[in-house]
Chain A
Amino acid sequence: GDSVTQTEGLVTLTEGLPVMLNCTYQSTYSPFLFWYVQHLNEAPKLLLKSFTDNKRPEHQGFHATLHKSSSSFHLQKSSAQLSDSALYYCALGSATGNTGKLIFGLGTTLQVQP
């Protein structure tokens, strides 16, 4: 079945350094990929989605590129900010049937230190 893997449970880095959070997936068909972000005591919110008319999806300085050859959708940002500290989920949605069901990875907690 479909699955999403986020290898890092916790990423700690210093403000101003680049961010890269890993996401790989397994799917029978070419799925849609998403990044959701959840700040402390808040609800998860959509950050990025993989289908944006051939443009690289970008939001709040974050970007991600879907690489079908390696089944990856890593999240990147050139310079981390303190406010980026949050829990980040990579998620997969089936491209067939438009089921609506999202399959989430276990999440990566990003801690940005001064």
Chain B
Amino acid sequence: NAGVIQTPRHKVTGKGQEATLWCEPISGHSAVFWYRQTIVQGLEFLTYFRNQAPIDDSGMPKERFSAQMPNQSHSTLKIQSTQPQDSAVYLCASSLGDRVYEQYFGPGTRLTVL
């Protein structure tokens, strides 16, 4: 069991550029979550997929942020026109469908926007 895989581990972008973050959930897990972690805000929920379908995106900034899950083995979080305030660690988590709160987190992608 390789755990949740996130790539890249670190990403540096210039202001206004696009950033795409990748997540591979644990095999057999049907729920995938995205969170953002900062020192000031802690862990913030962004969005959630179940069986590849978007279920709850209530934490996603309405502009510039989007997430997809094209197949059961990966999900992407895309940030368009990145801004310095987007700098954070973006964490992906997955869980079994009947234990959605028992989430297994990946190591995260540290995004730095210059």
Question: Chain A interface (Cβ within 8 Å of chain B)?
Answer: 32, 34, 42-46, 49, 89, 91, 93, 98-107
CB distance from A112 to the nearest CB of B (A): 21
Q: For the complex of A and B, list the 7 residue pairs with the smallest distance between their C-beta atoms, beginning with the closest.
A: A100-B100, A43-B105, A104-B43, A93-B101, A106-B42, A44-B105, A100-B48
A43-B105, A43-B108, A46-B103 are contacts. A101–B43 as well, Cβ < 8 Å?
no
Docked pose: A54 CA to B107 CA in angstroms: 33
Question: Cβ of A100 and Cβ of B31 under 8 Å apart?
Answer: yes
Docked pose: A106 CA to B44 CA in angstroms: 9
CB distance from B35 to the nearest CB of A (A): 8
Contact for A102 among B50, B101, B106, B107, CB less than 8 A: B101
User: B56 in the interface, Cβ–Cβ < 8 Å?
Assistant: yes
Interface residues on B, range: 20 to 34
Per the 8 Å Cβ criterion, residues 98-114 of B in contact with A are 100-108
Q: Which residue of A lies closest to B95 (CB)?
A: A100
Question: Cβ of A100 and Cβ of B33 under 8 Å apart?
Answer: yes
CB distance from B25 to the nearest CB of A (A): 13
Question: Cβ of A100 and Cβ of B56 under 8 Å apart?
Answer: yes
User: B55 in the interface, Cβ–Cβ < 8 Å?
Assistant: yes
Question: Cβ of B31 and Cβ of A45 under 8 Å apart?
Answer: no
A100-B33, A100-B56 are contacts. A45–B42 as well, Cβ < 8 Å?
no
Question: Cβ of A107 and Cβ of B43 under 8 Å apart?
Answer: yes
CB distance from A86 to the nearest CB of B (A): 14
Indicate the member of A42, A45, A93, A100 with the most B CB atoms within 10 Å.
A100
User: B79 in the interface, Cβ–Cβ < 8 Å?
Assistant: no
Question: Cβ of B48 and Cβ of A99 under 8 Å apart?
Answer: yes
Q: Which residue of B lies closest to A94 (CB)?
A: B101
Contact for B58 among A43, A49, A93, A101, CB less than 8 A: A101
Question: Cβ of A99 and Cβ of B55 under 8 Å apart?
Answer: yes
B100: chain A residues within 8 A (beta carbon)? 93, 98-100
CB distance from A8 to the nearest CB of B (A): 13
CB distance from B36 to the nearest CB of A (A): 11
CB distance from A107 to the nearest CB of B (A): 5
